[in-house]
């Protein structure tokens, strides 16, 4: 016996990736619905490479009664209207937007990090999926925190344009082409040219000079991992199509060597350690696309602080940063609470 699952925002980048991963991981399904906005109603999309096609249903008219899980990948404005409606109908929602992440009655889950917190979902029948950059960061930090207790984290991100959706990917492609052929090249999705450039600005600015993306990384890391950890972030958009990278500096309460950290990371769930101190002995975004793992490279000691390490973290943001984590939450929910699948 399987589950009745609705994927909301099924025609977007993350929604399509959710469908791919549900198929790849053979999630136990009795019924699957692809749901999207009225403009996509009736479109036909693939259920991964299963050969099965799904006809897109209209979210405005979709009845969530009798459905077990709804995986939302449609943005905060859509979630604000339809997540409460789905939850009230008895369907457990796993929401990829930022809307409910800091709600104290909604667990914010990365299964490798804080699986036990999922039990709090019953308060509102909603589970939040973290920001893509936060997800890969806490996967890398968790085993190190358990070993030596983290005091402070300084992270600079190198975030791909797919984090801004299809329009971000299109803009990078079009600008790159225009530069080569000499056409006009005005930014639309981003505030400045993204092709052959980097932009230290993701989401809106806050009063303290940080951006909302940076704020998300700080508060979400504290909620998921440990509220006592001090976190500061600089989030940067880079001209990469898929795959987020992070340069992470960590200060610990207790002593930990680079060699000890490598041993810990090598055995940690969800992590692939690729760390050879030679040309090419590290992971870049191009190599992580389509992979489930969070990759860690460049593990080294930081001599400027007591008990300091620096690491390089890379992951497919459409997968672990969004779709994969959502499906892993659904799997965890099924194992621990719904327990319908054989």
Given 132, 145, 235, 288, which residue is catalytic? 132
Q: Please give the Cα distance from 26 to 32 (Å, whole number).
A: 12
Tokens 């405005």 found at: 60
Q: Which two tokens stand for residue 112?
A: 């490798």
13 assigned ligand-binding residue: yes
**Active site annotation includes 91:** no
263 assigned ligand-binding residue: no
317 assigned ligand-binding residue: yes
14 assigned ligand-binding residue: yes
40 assigned ligand-binding residue: yes
Q: Please give the Cα distance from 321 to 325 (Å, whole number).
A: 7
CB of 202 within 8 A of CB of 192? no
- Burial string for 84-123 (b: 16+ CB within 10 Å, else e) reads eebbebebbbbbbbbbbbeeeebbbbbbbbbbeebebbee
Question: In angstroms, what CA-CA distances link 39 with 17, 36, 50, 58, 229?
Answer: 20, 8, 25, 8, 44
Given 82, 235, 244, 288, which residue is catalytic? 244
12 assigned ligand-binding residue: yes
Name the H helices within 36-131. 76-88, 111-114
3-state class (DSSP) for residue 247: strand
**Active site annotation includes 235:** no
Whole-angstrom distance between the N-terminal and C-terminal Cα of the chain?
A: 6
Q: Which two tokens stand for residue 95?
A: 């929401």
Q: Which two tokens stand for residue 48?
A: 């991964």
256: left (phi over 0), alpha (psi -120 to 50) or beta: beta
11 assigned ligand-binding residue: yes
175 assigned ligand-binding residue: no
Q: Please give the Cα distance from 245 to 285 (Å, whole number).
A: 7
162 assigned ligand-binding residue: yes
Tell me the pairing of strands 230-237 and 29-36. Answer: unpaired
Q: Which two tokens stand for residue 317?
A: 């943001």
Q: Please give the Cα distance from 174 to 189 (Å, whole number).
A: 12
Q: Which residues are annotated as a binding site for phosphate?
A: 101
Q: Which residues are annotated as a binding site for substrate?
A: 159, 237
Annotated active-site positions, please? Answer: 132, 244
Q: Which residues are annotated as a binding site?
A: 11-14, 39-40, 101, 159, 162-163, 237, 317
Q: Which residues are annotated as a binding site for NADP(+)?
A: 11-14, 39-40, 162-163, 317
């Amino acid at each position: 016996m399987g589950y009745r699952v609705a994927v909301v925002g099924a025609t977007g980048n993350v929604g399509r990736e959710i469908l791919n991963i549900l198929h790849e991981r053979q999630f136990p399904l009795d019924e699957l619905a692809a749901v999207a906005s009225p403009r996509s109603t009736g479109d036909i999309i693939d259920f991964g490479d299963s050969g099965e096609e799904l006809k897109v249903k209209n979210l405005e008219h979709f009845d969530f009664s009798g459905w077990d899980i709804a995986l939302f990948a449609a943005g905060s404005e859509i979630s604000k209207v339809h997540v409460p409606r789905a939850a009230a109908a008895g369907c457990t929602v796993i929401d990829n937007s930022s809307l409910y992440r800091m709600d104290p009655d909604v667990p914010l889950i990365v299964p490798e990090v804080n699986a036990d917190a999922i039990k709090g979902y019953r308060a509102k029948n909603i589970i939040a999926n973290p920001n893509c950059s936060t997800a890969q960061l806490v996967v890398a930090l968790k085993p190190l925190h358990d070993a030596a207790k983290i005091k402070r984290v300084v992270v600079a991100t190198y975030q791909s344009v797919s984090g801004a959706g299809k329009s971000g990917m299109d803009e990078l492609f079009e600008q790159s082409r225009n530069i080569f052929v000499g056409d006009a090249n005005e930014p639309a999705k981003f505030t400045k040219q993204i092709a052959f450039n980097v932009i230290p600005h993701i989401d809106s600015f806050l009063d303290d000079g940080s951006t909302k993306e940076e704020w998300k990384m700080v508060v979400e890391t504290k909620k998921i991992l440990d509220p006592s950890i001090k976190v500061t972030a600089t989030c940067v958009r880079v001209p990469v199509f898929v795959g987020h990278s992070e340069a992470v500096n960590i200060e610990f309460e207790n002593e930990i060597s680079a060699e000890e950290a490598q041993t810990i990371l090598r055995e940690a769930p969800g992590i692939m350690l690729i760390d050879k101190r030679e040309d090419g002995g590290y992971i870049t975004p191009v190599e992580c696309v389509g992979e489930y793992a969070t990759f860690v490279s460049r593990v080294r000691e930081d001599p400027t602080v007591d008990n300091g390490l620096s690491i390089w973290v890379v992951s497919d943001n459409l997968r672990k940063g969004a779709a994969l984590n959502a499906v892993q939450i659904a799997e965890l929910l099924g194992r621990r609470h719904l327990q319908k699948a054989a």
